[in-house]
Amino acid sequence: MYEDGFAFGTSCHKHGLDWRKARRAISLQIMQDPADTTPAHSGRLCFVCNSENPSDHTARHANDLWAAAVVRGDNAERASRYLSAHYWTNALMHGDSSASRMLHIRAARQCCGSVLRDQIESLRPKIIVACGKVAVTSLMELRFLRRSWDDFRTHLRDGVYSEQSALNSGEPVKVFCTYHTAARVVNQTVAAFYSTSMVTNLKRMGGNPKDHQALDQFLSRYSVAANKEKSSEGRGMRVLLLHWREIGDAIRMAHSAPRSYT
């Protein structure tokens, strides 16, 4: 639905967790405007569906990171399993494409905080991934994080930031914090952290031949030797892949001993 500059979407039950049923999530991902304005056309918050829109860099980047860091070289059945227990949500519960949207962010986030808390407590995920300052601020105010974005932002040069937290039920939940996958963030902010040693670190990570093949495909797609614009995107995405490989490890481990969905 699209009205008055705001796009409202629901988490995709075709690729992600089917929120219409009483199920529990393994992983939950929170971003501000995770698909920019694409939900206005697709009606879904889904980086798989929305990556088909060539102008939706946020979704395309998120989809490629998921494929290289979570799915890796696994077969279609396992790939589907990871997604079917994954839930997307917006830190603001809407996407605002208007030029004045910054005026609404703080009020919208605070208003949506109780809804976000209820989503987390209802889905009871093992892993929460917060992408960007807005998502992190919401989790801190809901007491799922102890440190603020500004407290640990410099740490993100070297890797993803994480904290061990707990749900109201007492069940543990691991919270990972990384950057948003929007083009501006990837090409400018994150790209500045790139170093050639990062590729060496990526290639040293364990995995089977198919895993390494998926990694090589990602590195080929996000090259740093192309034109200036593509090179900036490649640098930023390679930095984010280092973050997401650790996130992917955690999601894959959580699936190795899945709990009941009742």
**Tell me, what CATH number does 53's domain have?**
3.40.470
CA distance to 81, 89, 151, 217, 246, per residue, from 54 (Å)? 26, 21, 35, 19, 28
The whole-number pLDDT of residue 28 equals 96
What is the pTM assigned to this prediction?
0.89
pLDDT digits (tens, 9 = 90+) for 94-122: 545 454 455 566 666 566 667 889 889 99
Residue 220 lies in a domain: no
Query: Lowest mean pLDDT: which of 75-84, 109-118, 149-158?
Result: 109-118
Residue 262 lies in a domain: no
CA distance to 86, 149, 194, per residue, from 98 (Å)? 29, 25, 32
The whole-number pLDDT of residue 191 equals 95
Residue 142 lies in a domain: yes
* Beta-strand runs (E) in 157-219: 161-166, 172-178
Residue 215 lies in a domain: no
Residue 91 lies in a domain: yes
The whole-number pLDDT of residue 2 equals 39
57-92 b/e (C-beta count within 10 Å ≥ 16 → b): bbbbbbbbbbbbbbbbbbeeeebebbbbbbbbbbbb
- Residue 261 pLDDT class (50, 70, 90 cuts): very low
Residue 213 lies in a domain: no
Domain count, the chain: 1
The domain in which residue 148 lies consists of 2-180+243-256
What mean pLDDT comes out for the span 65-70? 96
* CA distance between the termini of the chain: 31
Residue 228 lies in a domain: no
Residue 208 lies in a domain: no
The strand pair at 95-96 and 6-7 is best described as antiparallel
